[in-house]
């Protein structure tokens, strides 16, 4: 177990599409952080779902020109990977103690301290959303706001617990086998993009399937066991004072969890966006659906979109695309349900 002060970045040759990888050593082992943008800007940290990293969980959002323009104009992005989930990760040593969700939350604190960051904006998907919410509850002064995609806040239901146990056994005995990948793809995506016998699966599902092949089963199983042993944190949600923006697809297996979490948050500081015909990973399946809500969310912090976005004639950030109800005072000025039709605009 490394000392928390022994934090060393990797050499600068580790470059990913303009981002630089740093390997930060923490008390719970090393963690990979990919940094994009100007580090003098406010920080936005991301944390992905089970078996994913920034390439497979946030690539769709950051490859969307309007989203990249909005986010990189306002933030320096710090993509944190769960232990053993980064690109090119080796198997974690079997003698390494398993991590709990509390360990992972503390690890985020150590990453922030390593980079000298104060209060940050957070964006997480499902398991990553839980870790970031837990972090916000433990270290309130370090979080400006939460953007949560298909989040969790309760302990696993019996159904989810059993489902996770089946996946854990598959990982242990068969590795990243075909059946295990199908379970994960059902967790991430709606049936509309997963395809059928007559309709091939979409490009984003095919890309995710290929990226899952790169994960070591033992590393994924460690994160899965931590998430399957998570405690219920819903009783503490009302005490959160950072603003929270929740996205969830109406086809997500965690749709009811997101609705429950929204009901437990202080309505003055939270908003819910439900996205039609979408699974859990809105960041990949419907990234355009996140643009207008995020822009209005950031406006509450005095942040703005660039004066010139992109030359895309379909930019959903055009003022003519803003629905009147977005300007209502209810719930931070955000009220979008459903949203899909509002971003499917013709020129």
Is 145 contained in some domain?
yes
Is 314 contained in some domain?
no
Is 35 contained in some domain?
yes
Per-residue pLDDT of the chain (347 residues; tens, 9 = 90+): 434 444 433 333 344 556 899 999 999 889 999 999 999 999 999 999 999 999 999 999 999 999 989 999 999 999 999 999 999 999 999 888 899 999 999 999 999 999 999 999 999 999 999 999 999 999 999 999 999 999 999 999 999 999 999 999 999 999 999 999 999 999 999 999 998 878 889 999 999 999 999 999 999 999 999 999 999 999 999 999 899 999 999 999 999 999 999 999 999 999 999 999 999 999 999 999 999 999 999 999 998 777 654 444 333 333 333 333 433 434 343 444 444 333 333 32
Please name the residue ranges forming H helices in 281-336: 282-285, 291-299
Q: What is the pTM of this model?
A: 0.86
Q: What is the pLDDT, as a whole number, of residue 304?
A: 79
Q: What is the pLDDT, as a whole number, of residue 129?
A: 98
Surface-to-core class of residue 197, CB atoms within 10 Å of its CB (0-12 exposed, 13-18 middle, 19+ buried): exposed
Is 329 contained in some domain?
no
Is 189 contained in some domain?
yes
| Number of domains present in the structure of the chain | 1
Which residues, listed in sequence order, are joined to residue 9 by a DSSP beta bridge?
Answer: none
Neighbouring C-beta atoms of residue 304, cutoff 10 Å:
12
Helices vs. strands in the chain: H and E counts, helices first: 14, 9
**3-class secondary-structure state, position 177:** coil
Q: What is the pLDDT, as a whole number, of residue 285?
A: 96
Q: Can you give the residue range of the structural domain that contains 163?
A: 20-300
CATH number for the domain that contains residue 95: 3.40.50.1820
Q: What is the pLDDT, as a whole number, of residue 241?
A: 85
Question: How do 15-16 and 19-26 pair as beta strands?
Answer: antiparallel
CA distance 244 to 121: 10
Is 305 contained in some domain?
no
Q: What is the pLDDT, as a whole number, of residue 307?
A: 62
Nearest to 83 by CA among 58, 51, 121, 112: 51
What lies within 8 Å, CB to CB, of 11 at 6+ separation is: none
Is 330 contained in some domain?
no
Nearest to 163 by CA among 142, 180, 145, 148: 180
Is 1 contained in some domain?
no
Contact 287, 275 (CB under 8 A): no
Dihedral in degrees, nearest 10, Cα atoms 333, 43, 129, 194: 90
């Amino acid at each position: 177990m490394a000392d928390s002060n022994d934090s060393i970045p990797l050499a600068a040759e580790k470059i990913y599409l303009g981002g630089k990888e740093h390997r930060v050593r923490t008390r719970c082992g090393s963690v990979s952080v990919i940094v994009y943008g100007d580090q003098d800007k406010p920080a936005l940290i991301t944390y992905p779902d089970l078996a994913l990293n920034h390439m497979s969980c946030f690539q769709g959002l950051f490859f969307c020109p309007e989203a990249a323009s909005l986010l990189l104009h306002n933030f320096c992005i710090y993509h944190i990977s769960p232990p053993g989930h980064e690109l090119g990760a080796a198997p974690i040593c079997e003698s390494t103690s398993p991590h709990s969700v509390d360990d992972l939350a503390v690890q985020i604190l150590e990453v922030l301290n390593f980079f000298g960051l104060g209060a940050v904006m957070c964006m997480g998907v499902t398991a990553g959303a839980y870790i970031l919410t837990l972090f916000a509850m433990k270290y309130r002064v370090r979080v400006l706001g939460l953007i949560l995609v298909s989040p969790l806040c309760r302990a696993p239901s019996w159904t989810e617990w059993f489902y996770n146990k089946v996946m854990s056994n598959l990982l242990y005995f068969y590795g990243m086998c075909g059946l295990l990948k199908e379970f994960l793809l059902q967790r991430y995506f709606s049936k509309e993009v997963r395809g059928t016998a007559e309709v091939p699966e979409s490009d984003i599902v095919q890309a995710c399937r290929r990226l899952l092949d790169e994960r070591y089963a033992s590393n994924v199983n460690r994160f899965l066991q931590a998430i399957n042993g998570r405690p219920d944190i819903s009783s503490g949600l009302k005490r959160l004072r950072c603003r929270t923006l929740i996205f969830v697809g109406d086809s997500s297996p965690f749709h009811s969890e997101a609705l429950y979490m929204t009901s437990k948050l202080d309505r003055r500081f939270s908003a819910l966006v439900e996205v039609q015909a979408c699974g859990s990973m809105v960041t990949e399946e419907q990234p355009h659906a996140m643009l207008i809500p995020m822009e209005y969310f950031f406006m509450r912090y005095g942040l703005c979109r660039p004066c010139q976005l992109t030359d895309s004639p379909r930019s959903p950030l055009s003022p003519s695309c803003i629905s009147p109800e977005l300007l209502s005072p209810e719930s931070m000025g955000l009220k979008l349900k459903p949203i899909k039709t509002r971003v499917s605009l013709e020129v």
